[in-house]
Amino acid sequence: MKKVLSILLVLVMAASLAACVTGKNGNSGNTVDNNSADNGGTANAPANTSEGGNTLTVWCWDPAFNIYAMQEAEKVYQKTNPDFKLNIIETPWEDVQTKITTAASSGDLSTLPDIFLMQDNAFQKNYINFPEVFTDLTDSGIDYDSFAQAKAAYSVIDGKNYGVPFDNGTGIDCLRTDILKQAGYTIDDFKDITWDRYIEIGKDVLAKTKMPLLSSQAGSPDLIMEMLQSCGQSLFKEDGSPNIVENQALTEAINVYTTMVKEGILVEVNDWDQYVGTFTNGTVAGTINGCWILASIQTAADQSGKWALTNVPSLKDISNATNYTNNGGSSWGISTNCKNVDLAVDFLSKTFAGSVEFYETILPSSGALATYLPAGKSEVYAQPSEFFGGQKVYADITEFAGKVPSNITGVYYYEARDAVGTAMTNVVSGADLESELKNAEDTVKFQMGQ
């Protein structure tokens, strides 16, 4: 019964995440012709499944980001294996989730590809529900010590590795330096600070410039989740039980968020496009999010040279609090349907898990920052960004990535996240925090069948 319930919950999650993926990437339904010479891929290759031989089939989404990265990885690997080919099938995240769920629940894994991309926050959930889908990579020879450990931890279950980290979702605090200057501040005033200090400065900046520091989508708990991870905290305990009511870090995070809204330091908006618009049109002085937000910030060409970034604020008086966090990201998995696991491992270990050259290639065009730490020391990553006032933002972000605490996601991460988002919304509207946290925990326990 629990297995059936888990499958149903995963299917519901897949549907609900469609909007999230579209929000970040702009369009989750783009198509790519895998038989085109311009797009890589394998001409006349089968549509989906593992092929064997010297060809690997890959499921991933976003032509300008993940698919592009795979195409470039293919080129890198072909330098030493000229006959190697990838059959890259554009598969939106929600479809990846649904297809894996369907294959596992039917007991027929033959429809799965060799390699698939999986959102980090869903990795543990999928492995726990469908362990038969994932190849154990622990003793594969992949050097996991070369990755930011918090990133690698997303695909670690019971001490074993099941994924290869890819894109970087390290949290950053991005700010308009020209607006800060009007209020008498610089980016250095935001480095290594607490949220209490952030609020103090935010009040002063608002009073002097009439400009809030932040914006957020109403009801989205992203910022709350970032605050939790900065302490290595989670909405679950190690035994998998909910950790909401007695979670001091969560209570403090919601208090901080509520204070910022009430003080006018943070402006809530209705949707993703409005959120991006707040900082691209100069409604707010900054944003805190995963580093993939750089692409959106830089669409405002007229603001070039007026931005800088630093690490995120920390929660005061919370155990293990840091100024480093993460929001988003994904990792590659190898399915147990793969006909040539050795080839898949060798390909990933010599590209995503072993080639600085590869990460240098994909960075300028896609903005795909690595959590592969050696890449952060390369000349390309050390290049100053004109848009960010000459700051070496890529090297800085890679350094931040290495300091992010890991946390527990678990099977019911998204259910708990949504419940906390509802609680946060109600508290901002004046509801009692303690009662809302209890309601949230009760909701999660019900969904867990407790």
> What's the whole-number mean pLDDT along residues 248-271?
98
Largest CA distance in the chain: 66
Check pLDDT > 80 for residue 8: no
Structure tokens at 433: 């925090």
Q: What is the dihedral of CA 333, 99, 330, 414, to 10 degrees?
A: -130
Pairing of strands 160-161, 164-165: unpaired
- Do 54 and 9 share a structural domain? yes
- Do 190 and 148 share a structural domain? no
Does residue 42 sit within a domain?
yes
pLDDT band with cut points at 50, 70 and 90 for residue 51: low
Indicate the residue among 362, 380, 398 that finishes a domain.
380
Query: Phi/psi of residue 93, each to 5°?
Result: -50, -45
- Do 213 and 296 share a structural domain? yes
pLDDT for the residue numbered 369: 87
Is the pTM for the entire model greater than 0.75? yes
- Do 414 and 268 share a structural domain? yes
Parent domain of 94: 2-169+327-380
Task: Note the pLDDT tens digit of each residue in 22-37.
Answer: 334 333 222 333 333 3
What mean pLDDT value characterizes the chain? Answer: 89
- Do 346 and 317 share a structural domain? no
Q: What percent of the chain has pLDDT over 70?
A: 88
Task: Note the pLDDT tens digit of each residue in 268-287.
Answer: 999 999 999 999 999 999 99
Task: Note the pLDDT tens digit of each residue in 293-308.
Answer: 998 899 999 999 999 9
CA distance 427 to 76: 51
- Do 347 and 311 share a structural domain? no
pLDDT for the residue numbered 310: 98
Whole-angstrom CA distances from 100 to 25, 96, 115, 331 are: 22, 6, 12, 15
Q: How many domains does the chain have?
A: 2
> What's the whole-number mean pLDDT along residues 397-413?
92
Q: What percent of the chain has pLDDT over 90?
A: 81
DSSP state of 308: E
Check pLDDT > 70 for residue 12: no
Q: What is the CATH number of the domain that holds 281?
A: 3.40.190.10
- DSSP string for residues in 159-201: TEE--EE-B--BEEEEEEHHHHHHTT--GGGGTT-BHHHHHHH
pLDDT band with cut points at 50, 70 and 90 for residue 367: confident
CB 348 within 8 A of CB 332: yes
Task: Note the pLDDT tens digit of each residue in 120-161.
Answer: 999 999 999 999 999 999 999 999 999 999 999 999 999 999
- Do 190 and 89 share a structural domain? no
Does residue 399 sit within a domain?
no
Structure tokens at 448: 């867990």
CB 316 within 8 A of CB 323: no
- Do 25 and 152 share a structural domain? yes
pLDDT band with cut points at 50, 70 and 90 for residue 365: confident
